[in-house]
Every structure is written in C-alpha cells, then in structure tokens.
C-alpha cells in the first residue's frame, strides 16, 4: 500500500517538476537577450548625450579653465577648488567641464551625472546644455536652491 502510494507520488511529481524546470528555462532564454538589448540601447543613448555635451561644453584642464575665468571675471576668487560630486580637490591637470553658470566639475563626475538624464547643474539647477528646455521634473532654475548648500 505504502509503496504504491509513494510510487504514484513519484509518477505525478517527477513529470511536473520536469515541466516546471522546462518552463523556467524557456522564460530565462526568452528574457535574457531582451535585457541585454535594453542595456545596449541605454549605452548608445548615453553615448549620444555625451557627444552632444562635448559639442556644447568643452572638457579641458582645470588650470586652463581657471585662467580663462580669471580673465573674464577679474576679481573673482576661487573659493571652489573642490568638485562637489566626488569631494576631491581639483589639481591643475584635472580634466574638468566648466559650465555656463561658472560651476566646475570633473569631466568624469559630470558626465556620469549628465548621461543619466539629469540635465541640470548639481549646484544651481540651471540647464547644463545652454538653452536646453527644462523638463517637467527639474525645478525652475531661477528659484533658490532647495536647501542651504553647506559643505
């Protein structure tokens, strides 16, 4: 009796287990390429945005940018020698991007921020690409920043 029962259990359970495994495998095989395709599309999109950024906001060495800033705005002192994204000091040879709002960030740090669809300056929320339209999500750049930027 008992043996019979366990045998029938095996007969029922084994095939259904097998079917389950097959279904799971099928789902994985179908979904995997879709995920990686999505990844590739995102990468491509990010690349495009960086190209757009390169054409509008040049990357340069910090020392060159600082000289230009001093010439265009005599008397302005550099209180910011720090990249607020990574909190590292700039060195003369740091690769940076100086924005139209006179805020400056490491190229790597800003590109990382910008390529994820955040089009505003981390410090003043003005658009990074000059003249770009604000998205609904980003705040009006003429409003004061959301909190005191205490660093």
**Which positions touch another protein (CB under 8 A)?**
84-88, 109, 112-113, 116, 118, 120, 122-123, 125, 137-139, 146-151
Q: Which of Zn ion, another protein, none does residue 61 bind (CB under 5 to 8 Å by kind)?
A: none
Minimum CB distance to another protein smaller for 63 or for 84: 84
Q: Which of another protein, Zn ion, none does residue 148 bind (CB under 5 to 8 Å by kind)?
A: another protein
Q: Which of another protein, Zn ion, none does residue 149 bind (CB under 5 to 8 Å by kind)?
A: another protein
Choose, by CB under 5 A, the member of 53, 57, 83, 104 that binds Zn ion.
83
Residue 111 CB contacts under 8 Å (≥ 6 apart), including other chains: 50, 53, 97
How far, in Å, are 74, 97, 120, 122, 151 from residue 141 at the CA level?
A: 25, 20, 9, 11, 21
How big is the CA angle at 34 (ends 46 and 27), to the nearest 5 degrees? 150
Indicate the angle between helix axes 107-114 and 2-56, nearest 10 degrees.
120
How far, in Å, are 7, 24, 27, 43, 101 from residue 31 at the CA level?
A: 36, 11, 6, 19, 44
Q: Which of Zn ion, another protein, none does residue 80 bind (CB under 5 to 8 Å by kind)?
A: none
Choose, by CB under 5 A, the member of 59, 63, 123, 129 that binds Zn ion.
123
Minimum CB distance to another protein smaller for 18 or for 117: 117
């Amino acid at each position: 009796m008992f043996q019979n029962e366990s045998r029938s259990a095996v007969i029922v359970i084994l095939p259904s287990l097998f079917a389950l495994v097959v279904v799971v495998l099928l789902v994985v095989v179908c979904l995997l390429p879709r995920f990686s395709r999505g990844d590739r599309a995102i990468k491509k999109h990010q690349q495009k945005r960086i190209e757009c950024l390169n054409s509008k906001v040049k990357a340069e060495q910090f020392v060159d940018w600082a000289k230009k800033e001093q010439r265009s705005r005599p008397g302005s002192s550099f209180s910011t020698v720090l990249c607020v994204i990574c909190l590292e000091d700039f060195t003369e040879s740091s690769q940076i991007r100086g924005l139209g709002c006179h805020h400056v960030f490491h190229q790597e740090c800003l590109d990382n921020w910008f390529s994820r669809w955040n089009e505003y300056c981390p410090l003043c929320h003005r658009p990074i690409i000059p003249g770009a339209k604000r998205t609904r999500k980003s705040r009006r750049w003429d409003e004061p920043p959301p909190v005191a930027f205490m660093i």
